[in-house]
Amino acid sequence: MAKLGKRTRAAREAVAGKENLSVEEAVALVKANATSKFDETIEIALNLGVDTRHADQMVRGVIGLPNGTGKAMRVAVFARGPKADEAKEAGADIIGAEDLMETIQGGTIEFDRCIATPDMMPIVGRLGKVLGPRNLMPNPKVGTVTMDVKAAVEAAKGGEVQFKAEKGGVVHAGVGKASFDEAKLVENVRAFVSAVAKAKPSGAKGTYMKKIALSSTMGPGVTLDVAEASGE
């Protein structure tokens, strides 16, 4: 077994025995342990009491974090004509139709968010097996299938976060950078947890939020007090 470096050992020792923390305590600890040379992402993971194999237990939504994510979002838009021009003016990174479909089918996916006008969905629909598993498939429920291309692109660029429960009922997302002020990270964490709480599906039974953990890209995770974090 490889020996742990001094930084990793120190980070693990700092969180040892610390569980069910308040959002403020968790943010302070995780931020203090983010000592890499790059600006680490602060990541949240929620274990939910849902079975995503059932349609009425799927958790999905979108939240515009109050202080953004700190990540530069690359946005692709499927559109033609005036709507393609609108996407370009709004700052979209990639715009196309059949040509963009072929690029994606060829294995090149150089974007973090995909938006489409409704008339483009017959084309985009062919990419379900490619974009679906990456949570990149445009969906009207989260505002990425829309005629208001300008608003969708600006929202994506402005720190909007999409979330979707994976197998096992886990939802995870980046909620900021280690360089953010603690208060801004706390605000983002609470906003994200609140959004997931509001997205509770009708078919969810028993305890909805089972566990919440916070970590940085390279640091160990800490658990949050679910009731405190969710405002229950």
Evaluate whether 216 touches 41 at the Cβ level (below 8 Å): yes
159 or 204: which leads in pLDDT: 204
Nearest to 171 by CA among 155, 143, 192, 186: 192
Q: Kindly state whether residue 7 falls inside one of the protein's structural domains.
A: no
Residues 6+ apart with CB under 8 A from 227: none
Question: Same structural domain for residues 41 and 106?
Answer: no
The tens digit of pLDDT for each residue in 180-220 reads 999 999 999 999 999 999 999 999 989 999 999 999 999 98
Residues 6+ apart with CB under 8 A from 23: 186, 189, 190, 224, 228, 229
Q: Kindly state whether residue 11 falls inside one of the protein's structural domains.
A: no
Question: Same structural domain for residues 80 and 138?
Answer: yes
Looking at 158, 178, 194, the residue that finishes a domain is 158
Q: Indicate whether 10 pLDDT > 70.
A: no
Q: Indicate whether 18 pLDDT > 80.
A: no
Question: Same structural domain for residues 154 and 79?
Answer: yes
Which single residue is written with the structure tokens 């203090």?
A: 32
Find the helix packing angle between 81-90 and 149-157, rounded to 10°: 30
The pLDDT, as a whole number, for residue 232 is: 64
Q: Kindly state whether residue 170 falls inside one of the protein's structural domains.
A: yes
The pLDDT, as a whole number, for residue 141 is: 87
Q: Indicate whether 12 pLDDT > 60.
A: no
Q: Kindly state whether residue 3 falls inside one of the protein's structural domains.
A: no
Q: Kindly state whether residue 57 falls inside one of the protein's structural domains.
A: yes
The pLDDT, as a whole number, for residue 159 is: 83
**Helical residues (DSSP H) of the chain, grouped into ranges:** 6-15, 23-33, 81-90, 98-105, 121-124, 128-131, 149-157, 182-198, 226-230
Question: Same structural domain for residues 130 and 82?
Answer: yes
Q: Kindly state whether residue 13 falls inside one of the protein's structural domains.
A: no
The stretch 22-49 carries a mean pLDDT of 95
The pLDDT, as a whole number, for residue 2 is: 47
Mean pLDDT of the chain: 91
| Confidence label for 172 from pLDDT (cuts 50, 70 and 90) | very high
The stretch 167-180 carries a mean pLDDT of 94
Rounded Cα gap, residues 142 and 132, in angstroms = 14
Question: Same structural domain for residues 84 and 139?
Answer: yes
Q: Is residue 223 packed enough to be buried (19+ CB in 10 Å), middle (13-18) or exposed (0-12)?
A: middle
Evaluate whether 159 touches 62 at the Cβ level (below 8 Å): no
Q: Indicate whether 1 pLDDT > 50.
A: no
Rounded Cα gap, residues 131 and 113, in angstroms = 10
Question: Same structural domain for residues 104 and 215?
Answer: no
Q: Domain with 80 in it: what CATH number?
A: 3.40.50.790
Percentage of the residues of the chain whose pLDDT score is greater than 70: 92
The pLDDT, as a whole number, for residue 8 is: 58
Q: What is the four-CA torsion angle of 151, 154, 155, 160, rounded to 10 degrees?
A: 160
Looking at 158, 173, 201, the residue that finishes a domain is 158
Residue 196: which domain range? 18-68+161-230
Task: State the total domains in the chain.
Answer: 2
Q: Kindly state whether residue 9 falls inside one of the protein's structural domains.
A: no
Q: Indicate whether 9 pLDDT > 70.
A: no
The pLDDT, as a whole number, for residue 167 is: 84
Q: Domain with 217 in it: what CATH number?
A: 3.30.190.20
The tens digit of pLDDT for each residue in 78-96 reads 999 999 999 999 999 999 9
Range of weakest confidence among 99-108, 142-151, 158-167, 220-229: 158-167
Question: Same structural domain for residues 154 and 83?
Answer: yes
The tens digit of pLDDT for each residue in 23-33 reads 999 999 999 99
The stretch 59-70 carries a mean pLDDT of 92
